[in-house]
Structure 1
Amino acid sequence: MANRLALVTSIATQLMAATPSTTVAVSEQVLKTLVDQLGVDAAFLRRNDHEIRASKLVTEWPPRADPPDPDPLAVVSFTTADPVFAACAHLKKLSVIQPDPELSGYVRQIPANHRNESLSIAAAPLLSGTVTTGMLALVKYRRAKWRSEELNTIEAIASLFAQAQARIVAEDRLRYLADHDDLTGLHNRRALVEYLSERLAPEMLGPVGIFYIDLDRLKPINDLLGHTAGDWFIQDFGRRLRAQAGTRSMVGRIGGDEFVVIPDRPMSPADAEKFADRLQRSLRERVDIHGHTVTSTASVGVAVGIPGHDSAAELLHRADEAVLAAKRGGGNQAVSSTEDMSMKSLFRKDIELHLQGEIDDESLLLYYQPEVDLWSGAIVAVEALVRWRHPTQGLLLPGSFIGIAESTNLAGDLGRWVLRTACAEFSRWQAEGVRPNTTMRVNVSPIQLASRGFVQHVVETIDEFGLPPGALCLEITERAVVRNIENTRRTLAELREAGVQIAIDDFGTGYAVLSHLKDLPVDTLKIDTVFVRELGSNAGDLAIVRAIIALADAFGLQVVAEGVETSAAALTLMRHGCHRAQGYLFSRPLPSTGAQALLASRWMPMPFLADSQALVI
């Protein structure tokens, strides 16, 4: 009894120390110990794979001298197994098996000098709850009676093997989950970054290509067919991506519809572009989902890194920038990362980082650009233009940060600050004697226009600063108008009722609003700078400007030309019936004090009017 306890304790210690990488070697050593201590002829350990309904050999002792290739004992199906291995499937307690030498596949694999002897096998199941996970078997070549002490020891060791096997399976599963995406079975971000970091180590061969892949149409599938269909679509795409990328490539999923491929071989930038084009084209396929045929396309971003120079994070970021550029270009294409792309992305992220929390009087200020009557030089309006004192980049124009504010849900806060500040300064100017019938123009973003409580905020701001009716004009873009036309029509009507003027800014760039213009409560059309800058020399621009002027006249609307920089442009506008303009020809945007002084003068010189013949039509 003492010897048995010592043997079980020793084996338990060995199995407790086993890891996924050492379990076969430790198991083999345990079998050797059992063969030696119990005086039997052989031993083997098998585990069950119930998914494929088969028993797999873990290890044996002593090893067979020259097993055939393939080894018929390596994987044995439950359905075709002889009694020795059939017992592996659902054995629940130790059994002694005496196989028929003529029928047993196991007998045919034992040493030839023992095949005609009467074998006796003590087989003990490995149990995990009610599931048989494997079998420990000890073999006597000469049929001899098994002592109860031997059988008890075998049962105890089988139980230890079962516990060790369950622990290692659990550890393997945890390790697998730590490295793999649970939906597709592909590697996850952590595993990809670890692998990419290894590939970019200074001593590794390069260059290293990385391909960031983004599905083009996952959201419509989720919205129309449900997330179960979307998950199936992702799984199917993952399978196709793995097949196209090759078995030696690292393939992973790092987001909802975002995948990464890292080929195992070095790639020049030219080779990477060819690989990306081939990969992108091969993934374009028609897929049937619940009776709906969907064309599967993907955008691919390409980046190439140098070992010892680039980090995994930098390379992933560059590939991500490239795929975003591909998506902005309409998708279904491959785009390579460039230095210019990286610089723009860094600038954008710097803006995004610093803009958070800086919408206040300390970091923002307003400049004002006057609008003049071309025939008299009278200053009839000013447009409020926001500027940002960036902590490292200096004074930034709105084109640098407005789009980022909209994409980060800061447009509402920024718009409210601009409106309040413009109204406050305009009220002060009027109190100090500025021309009373001048208009303050303030730009409104699509997000503001669609936000709840916008009209109420505008009305409260007008009341707070005592602006007279018509003093405030809100400028909206064509894009904002057509985003939700019914909501826009209702909002503009409420603003008009409150005494607010409405102008459509950048008019002519899309003509998307034309079909709705007759129903919208609009006062002014502002001709976009792109059509004004070359007036006097570009016949195409003149045709568009004339059409806009005629359209405004037909609807009884005021028309204002933006971006007037030359006398030729100003005279051309006057010739064709545009009476108001703003631009560098008259004045650049000015800070508050300069704008107030200019408004106080009420008039601007119009030297281009000196040549009266210029206005002859």
Structure 2
Amino acid sequence: MSLDTLVTNVAAKLMAATSATSAQVSQDVLADLVASFGVDFSFLRYNDHSIRATVLVAEWPPRPDVPDPDPLGVVYFDGADPIFAAAENAKEPVFFSPEPAPDDAEDYQRRVQEASGVTLPSLASVPLLSGEITTGCLGFIKIGIKDWTPEETNALKAIASLFAQVQARVVAEDQLRYLAEHDDLTGLYNRRALLAHIDERLRPEEAGPVSVLFLDLDRLKAINDYLGHHAGDWFIQAFAERLREETGDGDVIARLGGDEFVIVPAGSVDADAAEALAHRLQDALRDRVTIGGETLTRTVSAGVALGVPGRDTTSDLLRRADQAVLNAKNAGGNKIAVFTDEMSLRSEFRNDIELHLQNVIDTGSLILHYLPEVDMRTGEILATEALVRWQHPTRGLLLPDSFIHVAESINLAGELGRWVMRTACEEFSRWQASGIAEDAVIRINVSPVQLVADGFVQSVAETIAEFGLDGKSVCLEITESVVVQDIETTRITLAGLKEVGVRIAIDDFGTGYSVLTHLKSLPVDTLKIDKGFVLELGTNPEDLAIVRAIIALAEAFNLELVAEGVESPTAAMTLLQHGCHRAQGFLLSRPIPSDAMAELFAKRVIPVDFSVPIRT
């Protein structure tokens, strides 16, 4: 084969090489070169100038029984023998022949071999160049003398140039792959690489279980808000470095974005071992970090989930881990939660609620039930509280606790509250128009979102006017915790509501006494004793002490007082004995539909006999 044909064939093979196939293609080409040039060995090495070393890429023929680690795999230039040392910065081919070289080289080699039993090799090293940088070398070894002709030397340079082009292409492909699979900020794997890794781990033939740890930094926003996003980025980088330090070589660490990280431990790891790893990481990550003169620390929440190869999918496994970490954060943060089927059911339920809640408001699946408020001395019905319900097509009648928090999280609380107010006022107006409930009060709960919303007072005024109600027959209930969240806004809103003429009640009163300092300055008409102090009244002396204090407080401020959660005759009698006669609770009546409430208003009273439980 001519040298031109050889170069052409090498070019054709190397042009088809990719990052994935370059090592094997290079080995095939080396085999051709060994045969064509009549040498015994050939090798291809790339330079890593960052560590000043030459790295073996391919060789022919392959050495048998190569030790691990391979002593020729990575050779550092410092202290290397001449053939390796020359590869660092050489710009032209370098040849090494046995010295001295007598006129009769073959006779010299024969005499050396006879004397020592060793035939000296001839070596050639041809540099791979990228501009002025030596990126590697193409090497040849001949046992004995090898004279390289000028034509062969030119062919070697051309072939080395082809190898250099492949090397540049491989580096570019590797760099693109790295960028595609790694997070820019931390250098950890990104979501794409994580998904591919878990896909591999969950193949049916792989061993299981496969564990996933989902980590979420608690309150990183405080660092971003106080020190800026640059400091937040530094903290995330420090966090990532600690993850590297605390995990094993085979563990996969990925950053999903923001302050979310996922770790997939190598090998089969059960739930207990994964949870133990989460605790260890949690402890290590709690150590302080100094950034810009500030010493900072953040806690971390962790969720643990397990997948079974051949059964679970990657999305299943990550979704479970995500649910677990969300459960940990909802528990206050700095917690570790292991996924359970119960979590899945709760998540499924919440997703169902979130997806369909808007439709429910628009299409009329919401209804109101009413909880009567009774004078326990006479059984007279004094008021009723409107309570929203959702008639779910598959889950039955849902209570507010099932969907109010979801409504708040997706900004539907205001719309839901407006529906409740309009519907309650409309039904109450209809009752009064029919001659019932004329002296009663309709109580309507107001959410924190409504209370601070622009135009709320005007909306209340318009609703009352639309249905022709006397403002004094409408009482808006706000919880004690809402009052103190933004006391100035609350004070302004309540003052506006009083101008409209409606009544104001503080619901769940006594849960913190946090509103006491403001009670004198707030235009409040009614206090409703939280049911937590009423349920065991008569048997719990501490509850009695709190209830007596609230009764005294109401008397001092000349406020109406209503007890919630009256469920036993003992509690009812205790309240009456201490001067609280208005009450709600299952002992008197459960929440009932609109038609049933109208019937009760028509009767005007609920018979009371506290010697036996009352049922309606």
Q: 1:66 to 1:576 in 2, by over 3 A?
A: closer
Greater CA deviation, 172-181 or 131-140?
A: 131-140
**Distance in 1, Cα, partners of 2:118 & 2:491:** 94
Work out whether residues 446 and 480 of structure 1, in 8 Å CA contact, stay in contact via their aligned partners in 2.
yes
**Distance in 2, Cα, partners of 1:439 & 1:579:** 16
Q: 1:432 to 1:157 in 2, by over 3 A?
A: farther
Q: Does 2:520 match 1:521?
A: no
Q: 1:132 to 1:429 in 2, by over 3 A?
A: farther
Aligned residue for 1:519, secondary structure, equals coil
Give the fraction of aligned pairs with identical amino acids, expressed as a percent: 59
Work out whether residues 224 and 231 of structure 2, in 8 Å CA contact, stay in contact via their aligned partners in 1.
yes
Q: Does 2:129 match 1:125?
A: yes
Work out whether residues 368 and 591 of structure 1, in 8 Å CA contact, stay in contact via their aligned partners in 2.
yes
- Quote the residue 1:46 is aligned against: 45
- Quote the residue 2:570 is aligned against: 568
Aligned residue for 1:57, secondary structure, equals strand
Output the amino acid matched with 2:455.
G
Output the amino acid matched with 1:12.
A
Q: Identify the match of residue 395 of structure 1 among 379, 394, 397.
A: 397
Unmatched segments (≥5 aa) in structure 2: 100-116
Q: Identify the match of residue 592 of structure 2 among 583, 590, 608.
A: 590
Shift of 1:533: 1.6
Q: 1:457 to 1:80 in 2, by over 3 A?
A: farther
**Distance in 2, Cα, partners of 1:356 & 1:3:** 79
Shift of 1:363: 1.3
Pairs within 5 Å for 1:231-250: 231-250=233-252
Work out whether residues 127 and 134 of structure 2, in 8 Å CA contact, stay in contact via their aligned partners in 1.
no
Output the amino acid matched with 1:596.
A
Work out whether residues 204 and 309 of structure 2, in 8 Å CA contact, stay in contact via their aligned partners in 1.
yes
Aligned residue for 1:521, secondary structure, equals coil
Q: Does 2:92 match 1:95?
A: yes
Work out whether residues 126 and 135 of structure 1, in 8 Å CA contact, stay in contact via their aligned partners in 2.
no
Aligned residue for 2:520, secondary structure, equals helix
**Distance in 1, Cα, partners of 2:579 & 2:352:** 45
Aligned residue for 2:579, secondary structure, equals coil
Shift of 1:522: 2.2
Cα RMSD between the aligned structures? Answer: 3.5
Work out whether residues 201 and 308 of structure 1, in 8 Å CA contact, stay in contact via their aligned partners in 2.
yes
Shift of 1:402: 1.0
Q: 1:442 to 1:52 in 2, by over 3 A?
A: farther
Pairs within 5 Å for 1:290-305: 290-305=292-307
Work out whether residues 128 and 164 of structure 2, in 8 Å CA contact, stay in contact via their aligned partners in 1.
no
Q: TM-score, normalised by structure 1?
A: 0.85
- Quote the residue 2:107 is aligned against: none
**Distance in 1, Cα, partners of 2:325 & 2:463:** 43
Shift of 1:270: 4.0
Shift of 1:397: 0.9
Aligned residue for 1:463, secondary structure, equals helix
**Distance in 2, Cα, partners of 1:272 & 1:606:** 59
Work out whether residues 98 and 145 of structure 2, in 8 Å CA contact, stay in contact via their aligned partners in 1.
no
- Quote the residue 2:418 is aligned against: 416
Pairs within 5 Å for 1:237-276: 237-276=239-278
Output the amino acid matched with 1:209.
S
Work out whether residues 323 and 339 of structure 2, in 8 Å CA contact, stay in contact via their aligned partners in 1.
yes
Shift of 1:97: 4.1
Aligned residue for 2:337, secondary structure, equals strand
Output the amino acid matched with 2:353.
I
- Quote the residue 1:599 is aligned against: 601
Work out whether residues 367 and 384 of structure 1, in 8 Å CA contact, stay in contact via their aligned partners in 2.
yes
Output the amino acid matched with 2:130.
L
Q: 1:133 to 1:495 in 2, by over 3 A?
A: farther
**Distance in 2, Cα, partners of 1:564 & 1:52:** 78
Q: TM-score, normalised by structure 2?
A: 0.85
Output the amino acid matched with 1:30.
V
Shift of 1:26: 1.3
Unmatched segments (≥5 aa) in structure 1: 103-110, 611-617
- Quote the residue 1:614 is aligned against: none
Output the amino acid matched with 1:123.
P
Pairs within 5 Å for 1:465-544: 465-544=467-546
Q: Does 2:173 match 1:176?
A: no
Q: 1:347 to 1:42 in 2, by over 3 A?
A: same
**Distance in 1, Cα, partners of 2:411 & 2:152:** 74
- Quote the residue 1:17 is aligned against: 16
**Distance in 1, Cα, partners of 2:185 & 2:85:** 34
- Quote the residue 2:382 is aligned against: 380
Output the amino acid matched with 1:600.
A
**Distance in 1, Cα, partners of 2:296 & 2:92:** 56
- Quote the residue 1:210 is aligned against: 212
Shift of 1:494: 2.2
Output the amino acid matched with 1:95.
E
Q: Identify the match of residue 448 of structure 1 among 441, 447, 450.
A: 450
Q: Deviations over 1:411-453 (max 9, x none)?
A: 1221121122222222222222233342222112222223333
Q: Does 2:326 match 1:329?
A: no
Shift of 1:524: 1.8
Q: 1:33 to 1:559 in 2, by over 3 A?
A: same
Pairs within 5 Å for 1:110-121: 113-114=119-120, 121=125
Shift of 1:548: 1.6
Work out whether residues 127 and 135 of structure 2, in 8 Å CA contact, stay in contact via their aligned partners in 1.
no
- Quote the residue 2:166 is aligned against: 164
**Distance in 2, Cα, partners of 1:39 & 1:28:** 16
